[in-house]
Structures are given as structure tokens and as C-alpha cells.
Structure 1
Amino acid sequence: MKNKVTSVLDKERTIAQPRFNRWLIPPAALAIHLSIGQVYAFSVFNLPMTKLIGITQSAPTDWNLPTLGWIFSSAIAFLGISAALFGKWVEKQGPRKAMFVATLCFSGGFFISAFGVYLHQIVLVYLGYGVLGGIGLGIGYISPVSTLIKWFPDRPGMATGMAIMGFGGGAIIGSPLAVALMEHFKSSTSVGVWQTFVAMGVIYFCLMMCGVFFVRIAPPTWQPPHYTPPTQPQKLVTTSNITADNAIKTPQFWLLWIVLCTNVTAGIGVLSQASPMI
């Protein structure tokens, strides 16, 4: 198994020769994060999905907002679960395979959800966008970050910032795109949601595959020109090395987790219903 993993990484490294331009890595990361960042704009679907049967207004058999709220909530939950469970797998397999799997899961989530909306089966939407799409979110979120840091050891803050910027900025693209597509597909018998899901699945698949194509692993001994690694660690940066399995046994990990959880929960709670609130 170890030799198989090594061969996978070596195949990606063979292309990452010194002549490779490392500035192609940030666009590859952005292609993934701008796509999966669409989750922050999912609330634009909430009101139209309450009128799938009634078209102009909600019918008794239409879904209500609390029911629809579980789609976004489950996607975010599986984002965190999959990122935690597949973190070590991503490091072993490399970013290309991880980003490809994320592409299949995220775009596949749209297609399954489109089928669920067409049949008016909310469980299929939960499984599609919530579970499968959420797994794509988690794997896609973590896969470009470590690769960026390895290519930019001289600018680690800028490298990770570009990736996270893409995830947060995904709503800037996803929101108007979804609204425009629903308007385009809307008719007297449909609000255009399932057609929009299909179209966005195709669009994001193509965009994310661009990231899969361009991403490379930095060679083990590679360093940026004129870069000298610091001899002393920065303030508050430990020299100790700890594995993920041991990290979860420390109080520091759980204290940081509590801080992040409370911070994220506040924002996510608003984002889940942002469009109807506005």
C-alpha cells in the first residue's frame, strides 16, 4: 500500500520540475474553492423551492423553509465530517486525486438534487447536495491548501489566504449565476430549480476539472528562488511535531475547536437563510 501511495505522489512530482511555474497553483486552487464556495449562496434556492408545486405561491404539498434548511445544514455538517475523516487520505493520495474526487462528489450532488426536485423527493436532495455534495465540499476545501503552502513557503499567509478567499467569494459568483439560470429556465409549469441544478453541476464540473488539470505537487527539495528557510521559528510557532491522532488527545485542540465552532456557527446560521431574510 505504501509503495502504491508513493508511486501516485511521484507521478505528480515528475511534472513539477523547476521549470514549472508555481503561479499556476493559485488559479488551480481558486477553481476548486470558487466552485465549492457556491454553498454560501444556496439560500437563493430556498424561496423558489417552496413553490415547486404552486409555481406562483406555496401549495399545501410544497416544502417549507425549515424543511429546506436541512439541505444547507447537512452540507456544512458533512463538509466538516469529511474534512476530518479524509484529511490523512488527501495527504497520502495527493491534491490531484483528492480534487478529482471532490469534483465528482460536488457536481454529482447537483445532479442527484435535480432528480430529487424533479420527483419532489426531499430525501434525494438531502442525500445529493447535503451528503454527497457536502463530502465534495470537505475534500475540496482541504486539498489545495497544503499544496499551496508547499509551493509558497516564503508566503504561507498569502497562499492560504488566496484559497480561502476563493471559498468565501464563491457566493459572489454562485448567487447571481443561480438567479440568472432560474430566471432563464422559469416557465408556467416550473420555477426552474431542477434545470438550474443540472446546469450548475455541469458548469462547476468543468471549472473544477481545470483545477485538477493544473495542480502539481512541489518536489520534496524545492524552494523558491532566493528563499532561505528561517533558522528560528516565529513567535507562537512550536518546534514540536504531533500527529493528527495525538492532537485530538490534547486540551489545546479542543479549546481551538470550541472557539472555531462558536465562531462559525454564528455566521452559518445567518447564511442558511440569508436570501429569504433579505
Structure 2
Amino acid sequence: MSSITEPGGDARSPSFFAKQATIAQPGFSRWMVPPAALAVHLCIGQAYAFSVFNGPLTKVIGITQSAPDDWSLTALGWIFSLAIVFLGLSAAFAGKWLEKVGPRRTMFTAACCFGGGFIVSAIGVWIHQIALLYLGYGVLGGIGLGLGYVSPVSTLIRWFPDRRGMATGMAIMGFGGGAMIAAPLSVALMNHFKSATSIGVAETFIVLGIAYFISMTIGSLAIRVPPADWKPAGWTPPATTATKMITRNHVHIDQALKTPQFYLIWLVLFLNVTAGIGILGQASVMIQESFKNTVSAAAAAGFVGLLSLFNMGGRFVWASASDYVGRKNTYFIFFALGAVLYWLVPSFAASGNIALFVLCYCVILSMYGGGFSTVPAYLADMFGTAFVGGIHGRLLTAWAAAGVAGPVLVNYIRAYQVAHGVAKADAYTMTVHIMTVLLVIGFICNLLVKHVNEKHHMTDAQLASAK
């Protein structure tokens, strides 16, 4: 295709990556959009399987066991935390840019960053420089995560105004399910590349980086956006009810930051994510230490995959259910049930009941995932759809903050207790009790969410000017 200027120039047609080039033509089926979103989210969902690399990365030098100069588990934990931090920051700062350039360019940029992050990390493993893992997977990969995360979500909300929860569930379930594929695949690749002089992680990073770049690029090429003022045939906007606080008005992305609703929902997401993300980051190690000599590394990888399955399924099931019971009531369930389950987990571990231990975490992770997929619809209900992509991006700073808080709670409290004589199998008890308290606070924050004051609503003239 010939090189053509961007919108506002004198070109006869938009460039391939311009937003105008992605506007769907008459007859286009909106059901073609979810597969494009999944092509991206299934890739970036690999982040939830990163814990399978933590054990091998502590043996890069020693190969069979950790050597004195090998990286510690706490040092490696910052790779995942940095990725989540930059996910939130990139989503927040790129919100307006995303609305301007459209999903295709955003998703392709995400493919370059996420795939490239693996390549940089592989070099870091080869020369044993953890700073390159922080830069590669943490910074570049995190930026790819953020850009790849928000773009399909905002696009699907516009395609499915009649089923916002289901739409966001379709987009975000791929992110939760990515680890279901990535965990066993990563273990298999490391075993394939393992040798007397290599643990196989660097080679695995190279393969994953290339594969994810290709898949995410395909998704970016297939994405489409609906024409202006498009609505499903026969659909009329719903009326607000006590259980479904759905506005017909719109709030500007900058004005949303001046409302208490934004910060209450920010806390709701932060507390829900903090209670789950630290467990995800250390899921493989946690179950092996909780059931010493009972759970193998392969079985632990299976546990990570199972959590991913519930994480993925919960994103679709809970978000779809929120279309009927309302977003606020859905979060009430997350916080109340989650607090009870977290309180019970240590007793199941102490009694050696693996089945109930696994079941509790599966339900918890389903609600953790459901929180992610329900919050974009929650925002659309509160602030309208005109700027939901940018508002959602800014709200994901809560995820970035939780990406630090969750792993710190799990890793450092565990390390402190072990250093003071607490058995590794018991070292997570205090942490999950803290998680219980956080969920109770989240319940209160969600209770305080009310309708946005009409003074924040955009007039028809303001909305037309913004478009």
C-alpha cells in the first residue's frame, strides 16, 4: 500500500495503521472482533505463568542447584512486579493516544514491545545480567502488556453495548487463560533446551518472543472498530435501576479524575488485585512449599495452569453475570466470598488437604479474573463509553500499584518469617490473613460507589467537539 498521510492531511485514503483504516464496512460481523482480541490477550496472558521460570532462574550458574552467585527468588520477583507496574503506567499514559490512533497501531506496538522484551531478557540470561531481565520483560514487556491489554477491551465495549460485561469478559479471559498454554509450553521448552551447561530459559525466551510477536501482529491486522454512533439492530439503551447503575451520559477522561467514583473504583480494583496477584506470582513455589515432597515441579506447573483456567473462565462467567446482577453486586460477591476462602486456606494446607487447598485458590482466582473483566463495564456504566478506553487505562494504575504490593506481601513477609524460624509450609499463613483484611476494606469501598454527579456530564456540544 502506498504511503499516505494521517487524518487531517491531503491523502485520498488513510494509511494502513490509521484509525480510519480499521472502521468496519457495512455487513461486517461484530463476532469477528473477539478472535482478534484473543490473539493478543492469550499472548500477554503469559505473564501469569512467569512463576515457572523463577525456580530455573535461581540456577542459571549452578544448573542443578543454586550457586552463590545465582539470583535469589526475591530479586527475581521484581521482574513480574516491574512488568505489572509498566502495564499500568503504559495503559494510563497511552489512554488518549489509544483513542486517537485506534486499536491496530496500538496492538502492533504492543507486539513489538512484548516480543522484543523476551529477546532482551534472553540476552540477560546469557550474560547473567538481571538488569536486562528488568528492562526486557519488566519494562519493554510491561509496556507491551499495557498497550495490548486496553486496546481490545475498549474496542469490544463499543461493539457490544448491549452486553458490556460479556464483551469485556471475552477480551480479558484470554489474558487470564494465557498461562494455561504458557506454563506447560514453557516447561516443555526448557526441558527440550536444557543441557549440561544451560537451564534452557534463554532459548525458551527466544522461541516465545517470536511466537508471541507473530500472534499479536495477526490480531492487530484483524481488528476493526464500529462506525460512529453504531448500535446493534433493535437495541435501545437500558434504563438505570437499583442493581444496574448504567448512565446514558458521558464523562470526559480528564473530568473522570475529579469524581470520587473513579478513586473508589480504583481502590476496589487495587484491593481485589493485591489479594490475588502475589499468589499468582509465586503459585508454583507456594504449592510445593506448602506440601513439601508431595507436589512435584511438573504438578506445580499443572497447578499454575489450573489457576489460569479458572482465571480465564472467571473473567467470562463473572463479567457475563454482571450484565444481569449489576457490577456493584458482583464485586460484593468477590470481596465477601474471597475473604472467607482466604481465611480458610491455611487450615487446609496444615491438614494436608491438597484438594480443598487447590479448590479455594481456583475460586479465588476466578473472582480475581472476574474483577478485571468486570471493571471496564463498571467504568462504562459510570462514565459512559466515549472515553472508556482512556479512563480504563488510567484506572489500571491500580493494577500497577497492586503489582508491587501483592508480591511484596507474599515474598518479603514469607522471607522474614522463614528467616525467623517459621517452617516454609507455614510461612504463607500471615500473608493470606492480611489478604482477608484487604478484601473487607474493598467491600466497604465498593459499598460507597454512587452515581456520578450530573455536573461532570458532557453536553451534546462538548461530546460532538471531542469526537
Shorter chain as normaliser: what TM range?
A: over 0.9
Q: How does 1:56-135 map to 2 (within 5 A)?
A: 56-135=64-143
The amino acid across from 1:9 in the alignment is: K
Q: Are residue 242 (structure 1) and residue 251 (structure 2) matched?
A: yes
Aligned pairs for 1:1-278 (under 5 A) are 3=8, 7=14, 8-13=18-23, 16-224=24-232, 226-230=233-237, 232-233=239-240, 235-278=244-287
The amino acid of 1:145's aligned partner reads: V
1:31 maps to a residue whose letter is A
CA offsets 1:132-152 (integer angstroms, 9 cap, x no match): 100110111000011112222
Give the distance between the partners of 2:248 and 2:226, measured in 1 at CA. Answer: 23
Structure 2 unaligned segments of length 5 or more: list them: 1-5, 288-467
CA deviations over 1:94-128 (Å, ceiling 9, x no partner): 00000000100100110000011111000000000
Amino acid at match of 1:172: M
1:220 match: secondary structure:
coil
Partner Cα separation in structure 2 for residue 158 and residue 255 of structure 1: 23
The 2-side partners of 1:233 and 1:92 are apart by 30
> Given that residues 19 and 103 in structure 2 are in contact (C-alpha distance below 8 angstroms), is that contact kept between their aligned partners in structure 1?
no
Q: Deviations over 1:196-245 (max 9, x none)?
A: 00000011111111201211111124333x32222634531233422221
Question: Residues 38 and 174 of structure 2 are in contact (CA less than 8 Å); yes or no, is this contact kept in structure 1?
Answer: yes
Q: TM-score, normalised by structure 1?
A: 0.94
Q: Partners in 2 of 1:249 and 1:2 — Cα distance? A: 31
Give the drift of 1:186: 0.4
Letter aligned with residue 237 of structure 2: P
Q: How far is 1:247 from its partner?
A: 1.4
Q: CA deviation at 1:172?
A: 0.4
- 1:26, distance to aligned residue in structure 2 (A): 0.4
Contact 2:162 2:237 in 1 (8 A): no
The one-letter amino acid of 1:59's match is A
Q: Deviations over 1:25-68 (max 9, x none)?
A: 10000011110000001000000000000000000110010000
Pick the structure with greater CA Rg. Answer: 2
CA RMSD of aligned residues (A): 1.7
Q: Figure out how many residues of one structure are paired with residues of the other and give that number.
A: 274
* Moved >4 Å (runs of 4+): none
Query: Which amino acid counterpart does residue 19 of structure 2 have in structure 1?
Result: L
Residues 113 and 197 of structure 1 are in contact (CA less than 8 Å); yes or no, is this contact kept in structure 2? yes
* Cα gap change, 1:101 to 1:9, in 2 (>3 Å): same
Any conservation in 2 of the 1:53–1:62 contact (CA below 8 Å)? yes
State the distance in 2 between where 1:241 and 1:223 align: 16
Percent sequence identity over aligned pairs: 62
Tell me, in whole angstroms, the C-alpha distance in 2 between the residues paired with 1:216 and 1:273.
Answer: 37
CA positional deviation for 1:158: 1.5
Code of the residue aligned with 2:48 in structure 1: it is Y
The one-letter code matched in structure 2 to 1:227 is G
Contact 2:19 2:104 in 1 (8 A): no
Q: Distance in 2 between matches of 1:208 and 1:25?
A: 14
Point out where structure 1 has 5 or more consecutive residues left out of the alignment: none
Partner AA of 1:69 in structure 2: G
Q: Is the 8 A contact 2:124 2:133 kept in 1?
A: yes
